[in-house]
Amino acid sequence: MTARERREFGARVAELRRRRELTQSELAAALSRTASWVSQVERGVQPVNRLDVLRLLADGLGVSLQTLRPEVPGPAGPEAAEEATQNDLDQARLVISGHPALDVLLEPREDTPNELMPELRAEVDHLWVLTHAGRFAELSALLGPLVPRLERASRTISDERRAEAYQLLARTYQALAAAFVRQNEADAAWVAADRAIRAAELAGDRLGVFVGVFRLVHAFLRLQHLDQAEHAAAAAINTLARHADAESAAAEELSVLGSLHLALAAVHARAGQRVAAREQIVRARAVGERIGEERNDFNLEFGPVNVEAQAVSTAVELGDAGEALDIASGLDARELSAERQARLLMDTGRAHAQRRQLADALECLLGAEEIAPDVVHGHMATRAVIRELVLMAGRAASPELRGLAERSDALA
């Protein structure tokens, strides 16, 4: 933006805010920003170039993105594009609507045979493969019959296998919560995470309860319920840290603790709290150093390299593109899963986009797409970045960029 464009944009923001009868402080609270930031935007001092911030501002003002920024491409704006995007988890959402095992409550049934457990365990393992790969349509189809079977099994299997059945049920709901968050179905993620917590408790899986809280934090984060997200994460950390401080603490326990620190860092970053976010990254680094390797306990993928990958994401969320790129440049991501490698490239691409380095941003996003296309195409923030790149490039947008936008439905 030029200085004149910033002033014109700021005047439009101020006018729209006054129409809604909001003070600068009230608008700032709705955006999880400071009143000073809103004031600087309205005075044309603070530029707003990132598409995700523009969309957040438009939501806070109660207008479409095109009303706020008319040059945004697409006749109906990104809100309509989101609504038009097919949700692959519609069937899964129906599965968790109500009680999945009502028939067991009213009608006597034969016990679930113990021999069925290996089959159910294999299906849950496959469910997580689909979750990490972003193959949500397949995941939804698998969940349709799997969740009721597990709910019934946990109530009708022999006593000696009941804890195992509940543990599989907890893992299933954890996967479902993670998938719902990624598809921006945060209210459904909240339900799934809560059920995961309950199932883990019934299984006697204490760490599984904390994992369920981790999933709940991310649901709150996607809902912009930052106070609830912070409370849930901090309470879990304060409780678990007392046990994990012991030298004999198991690696699985440290993985969960470190992951909760990273979740809280994401919450603080979303709120624009730099010091608090970086403090949580530092604490996660200390836990990662204690573990000394990359692990995947409870499908959390935690370790020293994963911490640095999250540090990149946190810096991007805070708008510190230079810091994000510095961390990413010294990071060897070959130990990470394909999903995490793709996400690191996506975050690096976002950092380049913040610095208006279109070619570098596109290279990162294409690299991520090559590794995990479904993850890239289904990631809302990445689609927003692709739209932003097209907007910045205008008529000069390359065939590669337009192809990426088409494959990800970024402009639909």
Under a CB-based contact definition with an 8 Å cutoff, are residues 296 and 309 in contact?
Answer: no
Domain 3-72, architecture per CATH? Orthogonal Bundle (1.10)
Nearest-angstrom CA–CA distance, 280 and 278: 5
The segments of the chain whose pLDDT lies below 70 read 1, 51-52, 71-87, 108-110, 412
Q: Dihedral sign for Cα 180, 139, 191, 298, please.
A: negative
Which residue in this structure is represented by tokens 């337009």? 402
What pLDDT does residue 106 have? 78
- Can you give the pLDDT at residue 83? 38
Q: What is the pLDDT of residue 86?
A: 43
Q: What is the C-alpha separation between 218 and 263, in angstroms, rounded?
A: 7
What number of H helices and E strands is found in the chain? 23, 0
pLDDT at 316: 94
Provide the pLDDT for residue 394.
87
Q: According to the model, what pLDDT value does residue 109 have? A: 65
Please calculate the CA angle 382-384-388 and round it to the nearest 5 degrees: 115
Q: 17-24 long-range CB contacts below 8 Å, 24 or more apart?
A: 17/42, 17/61, 20/61, 20/62, 22/61
Report how far apart, in Å, the C-alpha atoms of 155 and of each of 108, 113, 169, 208, 297 are: 11, 12, 11, 19, 26
Residue 358 confidence (pLDDT) = 94
Q: Answer whether 298's CB lies under 8 Å from 325's CB.
A: no
Q: Tell whether pTM > 0.85.
A: no
20 contacts: CB under 8 Å, gap ≥ 6: 61, 62
pLDDT tens digits along 309-334: 999 999 999 999 999 999 999 999 99
